[in-house]
Structure 1
């Protein structure tokens, strides 16, 4: 009779999605209050990335609104060059995001390994990412943290934007709170006179410069030095710039890094800025009509025989984890929850892209109703930034950015007046 008690409970795939629906595979990333691992759906056999966030740590770090904000924003995002949400659910200990799997690694990983990337490769990424940025802006969303660490490649070499932890909706009212990774912040953020979605085009320009030349365009040893450089210093090119980048490429980078947002590439209203960027001669090799269908062959294909992420995460999971992740039945009694735990319980709602239509939680976006049609491809979260590397030039997320992918020590809670929670 004892053997009967040990039989696994059959999985109800017709019921609400839960961790019981997935096979847990290798751990590929670690963050401040969560981890990322590869999972396989038991019914469809599809591979995904599972990002899970410990609720108790989330409450301790005052990041509950961030997690709910990210969950809500991701439901209304569905684009070929974004790491899209496929499932969302929670148990008593964790909140779970099930996302498209990116097996090609992030651009920080490849940049550190290669030193720099060719102009041809970077042009392809900028084209793909500009498509994603324009999609976000059309839907009233600004990302606020575009950097190589948050750009993931699939196994074929297509670039995808990820990490919406500090993304927000925007309107005519400009934001003033400092958010993002300082080295990639637009000058209008740092001068604190108000900013809007134009900041994402600046960050894309910083990424393009860094990927081609292996260094950032604006640098400083201290926060004040870096702020001065971003807001005041002229854009300078390395001595060997013309060996690495054509004049047309430098024109695009310079256009993205224009401090005057009325002249910055991508910023003209009603999508004209994006169209202007597309028409630039630098992109003459890009077939924009087939770009989003991923029919074009990427110029760089990650090595599938190598791990395109820090393999130490899996070893740490095996040797050091005192509370390994496993599927658990939920407790029936939820009467003794704190206010923060109750907020997560009620507002981190379940989502299943096979059964539900994407929707917006924000009143001004209620016209959004889009059926999810994406397929999983493949993730490796980026290697965590070393905790002792907190120089302002190190690409660390600062101020009110709660970065999941790294254990950065200078993250603090966001300004609550910038977000909408219902």
Structure 2
């Protein structure tokens, strides 16, 4: 009788997705409001990354609108070099993002381990991320926080862009003015508050490429003011031994990406002309773009699958220090006494299942269905179906203040976006 009593309840895979659908495996990361761990879908056996955000912490940091914005925006994204959303749901304590699993670690981890990366390896990553950026910009989305921490490798060594926490839709008719992102990677037009659009992502890609090749950033400062001045005014210089690490064509590409005038910056010509200019740059002469974008080009570096390509202390902390470990729980029936913020999450952080849901556009505040998702049952990957985001009204401008840790926090009075206060080590 006891065995029958303790038998787990069967999982309803036909109902809305929830934590009962997954087996919880190891913890692989930690962020501002929660953690990231590997999970396995009980029905399909597919592995994913589960990012979960504590609701109470989210409310305290005034980041509710940010989380909802990320959830909605990810529903519009589907690309081979982006960490795509597969499922979204919530329980009484957390909001959950189930994402493509990247077992190869982030480029910050590999950069700190190796000091710098070979030029050909960096060129490969830059080309793959550029393909992802071009897709985002085509759909009027700018990332705004491109840095090595937010570039993840899969187990084969392909690069993927992640962390859409401060990504936002843009309109070319009205520039944004909010100071948002990680300061060392911000374009000068952000810091000088001249107004900006998608061209800032290409500047950030240039900073990343420079740092990965030479092991240091092109513009530095001991204080925020010093760093701002360096980004806005200092001449771009290369290390004395630069020719040993980077070809002449490579340095030309870095200069072109780190051009302070956005209209002259590499890849920033109107419409699709900019990306075509990028692809035709001499540095990428060896890249077969059709093969690369089909993910058939062999990566120059394959992460060691026998080693943890992330900080193993996250797993130890989960085992020894977590007083409220994550587990699947039935939801409370009574939801009448929720605060306004909790109610907002309850109503707007809606369930998402990439195998069941129609994709929607939330640009800027509509819900037009733009394409239907189909799935590969064997891999859990999306069959290419790229939604076109309609160009409608202007995105509201946003304002922000820069924190001392080099990140920006939104002023919620003028934007649906809220705070992002995360150190270089605290990334998803």
Aligned residues: CA RMSD:
1.9
What is the rounded CA distance, in whole Å, between the counterparts of 1:203 and 1:81 in structure 2? 17
1:162 Cα offset (Å):
0.1
Change (3 A) 1:18 1:414: farther
- 1:89 corresponds in structure 2 to 89
- 2:392 corresponds in structure 1 to none
- 2:174 corresponds in structure 1 to 173
- 1:392 corresponds in structure 2 to none
CA contact (8 A) 1:107 1:152 kept: yes
What is the rounded CA distance, in whole Å, between the counterparts of 2:119 and 2:42 in structure 1? 41
- 2:235 corresponds in structure 1 to 234
Instruction: Render the CA deviation track for 1:373-415: whole Å, top value 9, x for unaligned.
Output: 47558xxxxxxxxxxxxxxxxxxxxx6699xxxxx79664454
More displaced 10-residue stretch of structure 1: 409-418 or 60-69: 409-418
SS at 1:36's partner residue? strand
CA contact (8 A) 2:355 2:373 kept: no
- 1:145 corresponds in structure 2 to 145
Unaligned runs of 5+ in 2: 382-399, 419-428
Kindly indicate whether residue 131 of structure 2 is the aligned counterpart of residue 131 of structure 1. Answer: yes
1:4 Cα offset (Å):
3.1
- 1:159 corresponds in structure 2 to 159
TM-score normalised according to structure 1 size: 0.90
Change (3 A) 1:163 1:420: closer
Change (3 A) 1:420 1:207: closer
SS at 1:24's partner residue? strand
Kindly indicate whether residue 93 of structure 2 is the aligned counterpart of residue 119 of structure 1. Answer: no
CA contact (8 A) 1:184 1:203 kept: yes
- 1:318 corresponds in structure 2 to 319
More displaced 10-residue stretch of structure 1: 222-231 or 366-375: 366-375
- 1:335 corresponds in structure 2 to 336
What is the rounded CA distance, in whole Å, between the counterparts of 2:10 and 2:406 in structure 1? 43
The structure whose RCO (Cα within 8 Å, separation 6+) is larger is 1
What is the rounded CA distance, in whole Å, between the counterparts of 2:401 and 2:315 in structure 1? 29
CA contact (8 A) 1:63 1:413 kept: no
Unaligned runs of 5+ in 1: 378-398, 403-407
CA contact (8 A) 1:141 1:168 kept: yes
Matches within 5 A, 1:359-370: 359-362=360-363, 363=365, 366=368, 368-370=370-372
Matches within 5 A, 1:21-420: 21-171=21-171, 172-362=173-363, 363=365, 366=368, 368-371=370-373, 373=375, 375=379, 412-419=409-416
1:343 Cα offset (Å):
0.2
CA contact (8 A) 2:357 2:372 kept: no
SS at 1:331's partner residue? coil
What is the rounded CA distance, in whole Å, between the counterparts of 1:311 and 1:216 in structure 2? 27
SS at 1:237's partner residue? coil
SS at 1:179's partner residue? coil
TM-score normalised according to structure 2 size: 0.89
Instruction: Render the CA deviation track for 1:13-33: whole Å, top value 9, x for unaligned.
Output: 111100000000000011111
- 2:391 corresponds in structure 1 to none
What is the rounded CA distance, in whole Å, between the counterparts of 2:414 and 2:27 in structure 1? 35
